[in-house]
Structures are given as C-alpha cells and as structure tokens.
Amino acid sequence: MRKNIVAGNWKMNLDYEQGLSLFSEIVNMVKDEVRGDQQVIICSPFIHLASLSKLSAGVTNVAVGAQNINEAASGAYTGEISASQVKSTGSEYVILGHSERRAYYGETDSLLAKKVDAALANGLKPIFCIGETKDERESGSYYDVIKTQLSAGLFHLDAEAFAAIVLAYEPVWAIGTGLTASPEQAQEVHAFIRKTLAEQYGQAVADQTSILYGGSANPANAESLFSQPDIDGGLIGGASLKSRDFLQIINVFNG
Ligand code: PEP
C-alpha cells in the first residue's frame, strides 16, 4: 500500500524559535493520532532541520525535509547546501523541482535530474514537484508539460531507485493564489501521472507511488481532494504555517 502523506512547505518563513515552537505543537498533536500508513513531513528552512529532527526522534510518523539541495557533493559553492549536509541533520526528505525554484532560480529539468541523483545517493527521499502554468493549462498542453517534467527529471532512474520518490502535482496557477484545482481536475492529472508511471515502470511501481496534490489546499477543500482515488495527500504551503489548519488537513485521513 502506498502511504498517505501530508507535507508542509514552510518556504522562507518562521525564525528559529517560531519554527521550533510550531513543530513541537504539530508533533504533540499528531504523535498518537497518525496511523502507520500515514506520514507527516515538515519541510523547513535549513536553519531548523537539525533541531526539528531531534524533536521528532522516535516519532516515526513525523519526518523532516529540506526545500532544496545543491547538485554537487561538496566544494566552493558559497551559500549552497549539499545533500550529505542535509542528511547529516537527520532529515529524510527534500523538496525538488518546486515551481518557485524553477521560476525564480532557473532550475531546469536537467539540473533537477542531477539534484535527484545527489539526494538519492545520500539517502534523502525527493518530494518531486511537477505542474503546469496557467498558460499551459489554458492552451491544453499540460499533459505534455507534466510528461516532460517526469521523464527529464526522473525517468533516468531504475525502478528500484524510483521507489524512493514522492511526487507532488502542483499546478503553478494554484500555488499561493487561493485558486485550487477542483477535485476532478486534480484527479484527472493524478490518474494521468500514475498511468505514465505504469508505462515507464509497470503497474506495481505506479501503485506504490504516493502522488500529493499542492496548490492552495486548506481545511475546507482537503477532504474533497484527498478522497479522490489517485490523490494520496497534499503538499501544503500557506496552511502549514498555522498548526490548527495543518492539523485539520492531516485529520482528513483519520476520518
Ligand atoms: C507550495 O508552495 O508547495 C504550496 C502548495 O503552497 P500553497 O499551499 O500556499 O498554495
């Protein structure tokens, strides 16, 4: 069975103490409630990673992730952070391919393929983001866009390596905009992604892969999104910064 996952993306928010306090609240609220087939992941700024990993030590259903890594192993890359450095904090995951990094930092599919390799070589599980812009949705080219992002960023992996990947379908027009894909729109794309994975790796691998929805998910719309057959949870931006909202979203899976 694939896992249901609710992942928070804190982006560049919260100072050190604020991050620790929000995380402690989340851990305390979920540690006894979240079932074994569910995972909560907090992707924080780098400054929090080591402390959050210590706070969640022994709480198996809460994990910590970064929001980026550099593709190189080490060296003269001032201001950058490597996969092994992130791993040494106790983190398990890293978001790669977020549309903000693709748009603001020029991250291309081929660069992302290298970052995926760096993450996997160091035991980090990528939460790999794909999704179309508003123009691409309106022109109807979104299936091609998503297929290209998958194949150029990930399909160099063999099936064994691919097993560590979590996917997040995040339509760019829905991120931080208050616009959400309807459950039907999201399900349509998630089913397409799973079909594409089945063509590449076989149905068993496709069925094991968690595919999250991201884009203005909140307590009011999470249930209708997560109840779709191919939506296995969410990557949550704004609503992950409020413990009550985030908890309500997690609790969708607790019925
Ligand atoms: C995100 O940045 O991954 C995201 C989904 O943001 P928001 O929930 O704020 O749209």
184-211 pLDDT, tens digit each: 999 999 999 999 999 999 999 999 999 9
The mean per-residue pLDDT over the stretch 42-48 comes to 98
Q: What pLDDT score does 126 carry?
A: 98
pTM: 0.97
Query: Does the pLDDT at position 54 exceed 90?
Result: yes
What percent of the chain lies above the pLDDT cut of 90?
92
Backbone angles phi, psi at 185, to 5 degrees: -60, -45
Atom of ligand 1 nearest to the CA of 175: 10
Residue with tokens 């998958």: 150
Q: What pLDDT score does 34 carry?
A: 67
- Please tell me the CATH code under which domain 4-254 is placed: 3.20.20.70
Separation in Å, CA 113 to CA 143, 149, 209: 20, 10, 18
* Cβ atoms 169, 186 nearer than 8 A: yes
Q: What pLDDT score does 178 carry?
A: 86
Separation of 177 CA from ligand 1 center, angstroms?
9
Query: Does the pLDDT at position 173 exceed 90?
Result: yes
Q: What pLDDT score does 37 carry?
A: 75
Q: Which amino acid is at 232?
A: D
Top-confidence residue, 126 or 253: 126
Longest dimension (CA), the chain: 50
**Which residues are known catalytic residues?**
98, 170
Within 6 A (CB) of ligand 1 lie 9, 170, 175-176, 214-217, 235-239
Per domain, the residue ranges of the chain are 4-254
Q: Which of 59, 60, 77 is nearest to 68 (CA)?
A: 77
